């Protein structure tokens, strides 16, 4: 998330009641998760296991639960609860409506049809020549390109599935990002596409999604991808262009699938994949899988 106006280290420290380590006027431009950070961003870390990763990331402001040596060119915000304070910063700078206010700021392009039963949040932009079917829900800040088809009962821009456990209860990291649906995308019935926590979930130009597909927060789907029904893609994944995914495929979080890869039905992906065709509960090269099957049958 990028702030509308740059902030200072002192102003953010005062907002959350944290100790600032660095120049009071140190520029703060926004917030982001660790995999998305840029110079000027705040990233939070609340476990020693991830201190080095956060301190050595592109982020220049580290919201941390212990005072440590501050890397050159960076600043610290020392807090007793970085998770809580990251939420506080994000919600302070984002108008979170969640359909409690009437959306009067929607921008809709010419020749776009939206069924009267569609529910639209605030700050939504919809392009030209789109067709949005009954009972679709479009959350706050969603951007939809031209020539997009969204079929019935699909939800775009729901909250990310991102929690921590505190005193036996689950505490949500509040989602202030958005969803971007690019031109010429088709989305089937009853799909769910979560918005980014601080950045964007993206469906690339010309991609086609079948029915009952789940796309997690901050995942980026490339151009001309084809995804069959009941597939689930966890958060923070990158699918490059022209990836084909057949039915009931599952992809774990934070993975990268190279351009032109084919994932056959019920494939389980637990690591980054180079271009190829994969099959099996722990994705393996399809030809290798077939050779193994032949050997097993020949053991009789």
Catalytic residues: 217
Q: What tokens does 264 get?
A: 């056959």
> What distance in Å separates the CA atoms of residue 235 and residue 277, rounded to the nearest whole number?
22
> What distance in Å separates the CA atoms of residue 107 and residue 228, rounded to the nearest whole number?
30
Largest CA-CA distance found in the chain, in angstroms, rounded: 75
DSSP 8-class letter at 169:
E
Helix (H, G, I), strand (E, B) or coil at 209: strand
Are β-strands 2-8 and 27-31 bridged in parallel, bridged antiparallel, or unpaired?
Answer: antiparallel
> What distance in Å separates the CA atoms of residue 166 and residue 294, rounded to the nearest whole number?
50
Are 269 and 263 in contact by the 8 Å Cβ rule? The answer is yes
> What distance in Å separates the CA atoms of residue 16 and residue 76, rounded to the nearest whole number?
13
Tell me the β-bridge partners of 41: 30
Q: Name, in order, each residue with C-beta under 8 angstroms of 110's C-beta and a sequence gap of 6 or more.
A: 128, 129
Residue (of 65, 84, 86, 87) closest to 19 by Cα position: 65
């Amino acid at each position: 998330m990028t702030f509308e106006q740059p902030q200072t280290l002192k102003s953010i420290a005062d907002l959350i009641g944290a100790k600032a380590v660095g120049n009071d006027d140190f520029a703060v431009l926004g917030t982001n998760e660790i995999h998305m950070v840029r110079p000027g961003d705040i990233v939070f870390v609340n476990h020693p296991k991830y201190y080095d990763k956060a301190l050595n990331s592109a982020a220049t402001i580290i919201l941390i639960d212990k005072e440590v040596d501050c890397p050159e060119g960076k600043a610290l915000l020392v807090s007793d609860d970085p998770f809580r304070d990251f939420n506080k910063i994000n919600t302070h700078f984002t108008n979170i409506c969640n359909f409690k206010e009437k959306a009067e700021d929607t921008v809709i392009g010419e020749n776009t049809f939206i069924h009267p039963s569609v529910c639209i949040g605030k700050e939504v932009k919809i392009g030209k020549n789109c067709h949005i079917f009954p009972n679709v829900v479009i959350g706050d800040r969603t951007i939809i390109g031209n020539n997009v088809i969204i079929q019935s009962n699909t939800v775009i821009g729901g909250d990310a599935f991102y929690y921590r456990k505190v005193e036996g209860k689950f505490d949500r990291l509040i989602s202030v990002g958005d969803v971007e649906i690019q031109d010429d995308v088709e989305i089937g019935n009853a799909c769910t596409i979560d918005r980014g926590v601080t950045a964007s979930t993206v469906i690339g130009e010309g991609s086609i999604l079948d029915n009952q597909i789940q796309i997690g927060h901050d995942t980026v789907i490339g151009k001309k991808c084809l995804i069959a029904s009941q597939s689930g893609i966890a958060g923070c994944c990158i699918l490059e262009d022209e990836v084909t995914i057949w039915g009931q495929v599952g992809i774990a979080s934070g993975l990268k699938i190279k351009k032109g890869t084919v994932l056959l039905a019920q494939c389980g992906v637990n690591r980054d994949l180079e271009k190829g065709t994969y099959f099996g509960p722990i994705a393996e090269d399809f030809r290798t899988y077939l050779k193994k099957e032949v050997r097993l049958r020949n053991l009789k």
